[in-house]
């Protein structure tokens, strides 16, 4: 996030799908929290290996940063 902020300063609040004003840090927190739940659900429902959960989490993070 530091490198991203250095390259593109600002990152002001954005009004997204959740109808909340979110910043880059907010979207990062939402994506990390969601990824943790995705991994827990994957372990509970499917088990190991976790490569599928990693792929789903990356797609989820991209969608959060794009639309939230």
* Contact present, 60 and 34 (Cβ < 8 Å): yes
Q: How many residues are listed for the chain in this entry?
A: 68
Q: Which residue has the higher pLDDT, 36 or 4?
A: 36
Residue 4 lies in a domain: no
CA distance 52 to 43: 10
Residue 5 lies in a domain: no
Domain boundaries, position 34: 18-67
Question: Could you report the per-residue pLDDT of 15-61, keeping only the tens digit for each?
Answer: 888 788 888 888 899 999 999 999 999 999 999 999 999 999 999 99
Q: How many CB atoms lie within 10 A of CB 42?
A: 19
Give the number of domains in the chain. 1
Mean pLDDT over 3-17 rounds to 79
- DSSP SS3 for 15: strand
5 has pLDDT over 90: no
What is the structure's pLDDT at 14?
Answer: 83
Residue 2 lies in a domain: no
Residue 45 lies in a domain: yes
């Amino acid at each position: 996030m530091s490198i991203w902020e250095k390259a593109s300063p600002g990152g002001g609040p954005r009004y997204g799908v959740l109808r909340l004003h979110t910043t880059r840090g907010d979207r990062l927190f939402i994506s990390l929290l969601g990824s943790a739940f995705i991994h827990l659900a994957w372990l509970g429902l499917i088990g190991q290996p976790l490569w599928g959960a990693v792929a789903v989490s990356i797609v989820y993070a991209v969608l959060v940063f794009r639309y939230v």
